[in-house]
Amino acid sequence: MEIAATNTVSVALQTRLLLSNTFSKKLCSVSSLPFRSSEREHRVVSARLRVSATSSMDASLTAEKISPASFLDKRESKKVVHFVKYHGLGNDFILVDNRDSSEPKITQDQAAKLCDRNFGVGADGVIFAMPGVNGTDYSMRIFNSDGSEPEMCGNGIRCFARFIAELENLQGKHSFTIHTGAGLIVPEIQDDGQVKVDMGIPILKAQDVPTKLPGTKGEAVIQAELVVDGVNWNVTCVSMGNPHCITFGTKRGPNLKVDDLNLPEIGPKFEHHEMFPARTNTEFVEVLSRSHLKMRVWERGAGATLACGTGACALVVAAVLEGRANRKCTVDLPGGPLEIEWRQEDNHIYMTGPAEAVFYGSALL
């Protein structure tokens, strides 16, 4: 797969700039490239750039900024898709402007290839910004790095909100109604650039998570026993529109030290366990205090990731139900912290965290 960086490149010299000349090169990602230009190239771009050469031939360049919207306005073809790469605490996504169609511009197989970190752009998933339905502002669909389609993604929805704000050239505080496979989600961009998301009401009924584990408190699966590879784990099952299995440790064992886990070995065994008919995301949690939790996650369809927004929400619900934590917590993930609140007044979960653009590019499919 060839990745073409088109019309916009960030140059790390004395100043950051975006170049408007188009070029194509085999590369996996573009965020910062050194640039040296010949005398001929100086003449070609002299109308757009001011060049100050030094004795070492380094150049200080300035150019007019190309907006993300104008970049994505470039003509699409059947073999090319333009995108913006975003991340939320290291959970990274390829964002595609799909507002002109209710069908994704690329297939699930193509998404898996794009997400490959050696042969593609590299990402945990591909997210499509699509027309709204049933009165919502927009719709969001996502394909995981293995090509599967989850219902929703917490870090992805924050990236989605920032992507829409850039496409629409919106400044300051804004909120959107987003239709997802998990239902209505409402992200709100804060004045400081963080994104606060109303993640809705957690689902606890076993068959709706879904899990085949029997309810331990009514129809909810709370501190149930799950045998994984011969080891008895205590688990609580929560759905945030997508299934989560949360564990604070093994039965009668010590509290988890999540940094000691062999996640690539144990994670898939939870994900594909027969008790989870739709597979599951799994959060391994260490309690630092009643308002401070630390987690590692094995995501369904993506494996070990640096962050999982829905997982952070689900684990706070589990921690409250098990009597381990307060309703408002900081959750430390490998990529950084999220602020999570499970409000008693409306039973909704609120997640606040960052989302940042990394680079703009085009992929030849």
Name the phi and psi angles at 81, rounded to 5. -130, 130
Q: At what angle do helices 154-167 and 309-321 cross, to 10 degrees?
A: 140
Residue (of 134, 92, 131) closest to 299 by Cα position: 92
Residue (of 335, 364, 360) closest to 158 by Cα position: 335
Which one of the listed residues 237, 308, 313, 329 is annotated catalytic? 308
Residue (of 132, 138, 145, 141) closest to 161 by Cα position: 138
Residue 250, token pair as written in the block: 């093994």
Instruction: Confirm whether 28 is a catalytic residue.
Output: no
Which one of the listed residues 153, 237, 245, 329 is annotated catalytic? 153
Residue (of 358, 302, 311, 359) closest to 88 by Cα position: 358
Residue (of 149, 159, 197) closest to 313 by Cα position: 197
- CA-CA-CA-CA torsion sign (161, 162, 165, 167): negative
**345 and 334 Cβ atoms separated by less than 8 Å:** no
Helix-strand-coil split of the chain, %, nearest 5: 15, 35, 45
**302 and 329 Cβ atoms separated by less than 8 Å:** no
List, as one string, the DSSP characters of 98-144: -TT-SS-SS-HHHHHHHH-TTTSS--SEEEEEEE--TT-SEEEEEEE
281-289 and 243-250: which strand pairing?
Answer: parallel
Residues acting as catalytic residues: 153, 308
